[in-house]
């Protein structure tokens, strides 16, 4: 994710606020796509692991784990899911643009 965040400011932006892939180098586009895909994969694997908390009904019932903690975790999981979706969209856009341009 750090590499993705480092590369994002280097992407040119069009007047409508979208990534202008025509002005970006194919190498940068490929790097952003790879970083976004790696971030998305890490998020999906992490969310899968967090999903094990679904089996924690007894600790919630006896008060060992507070319901507010699980609620907060649910919000975090939703935000991470949104981030993973945005990473997939960005990766697809960058890969498509990079694959249609020669390497410079």
Q: Tens digit of pLDDT per residue, the chain (104 long)?
A: 999 999 999 999 999 998 999 999 999 999 999 999 999 999 999 888 887 666 666 666 777 777 787 788 889 999 999 999 999 999 999 999 998 866 54
Instruction: Point out which residues pair with 19 in neighbouring strands.
Output: 13
- Cβ atoms of 43 and 36 closer than 8 Å: no
**Cα 45 from Cα 27, distance rounded (Å):** 27
In a domain, residue 35? The reply is yes
**Cα 19 from Cα 36, distance rounded (Å):** 14
pTM above 0.85, yes or no: no
In a domain, residue 75? The reply is yes
Write the DSSP symbol of residue 81. Answer: H
pLDDT of residue 49: 81
pLDDT of residue 66: 74
Instruction: Look up residue 92 and give its two tokens.
Output: 């697809």
Q: How many domains does the chain have?
A: 1
In a domain, residue 104? The reply is no
In a domain, residue 22? The reply is yes
pLDDT of residue 65: 72
- Total Cβ atoms within 10 A of residue 79: 11
- Total Cβ atoms within 10 A of residue 36: 27
Handedness of CA 9, 12, 89, 99 (dihedral sign): negative
Residues 6 or more apart in contact with residue 67 via CB below 8 angstroms: 60
pLDDT of residue 72: 85
In a domain, residue 70? The reply is yes
Structural domain range at position 39: 2-99
């Amino acid at each position: 994710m750090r590499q993705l965040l480092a590369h994002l400011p280097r992407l040119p932006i069009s007047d409508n606020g979208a990534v202008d892939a025509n002005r970006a180098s194919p190498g940068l586009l490929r790097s952003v796509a790879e970083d976004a895909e790696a971030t998305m994969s890490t998020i999906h694997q992490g969310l899968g692991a967090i999903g094990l908390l679904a089996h924690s009904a007894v600790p919630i019932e006896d008060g060992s784990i507070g319901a507010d903690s699980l609620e907060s975790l649910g919000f975090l999981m939703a935000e991470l899911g949104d981030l993973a979706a945005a990473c997939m969209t960005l990766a697809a856009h960058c890969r498509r643009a990079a694959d249609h341009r020669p390497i410079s």
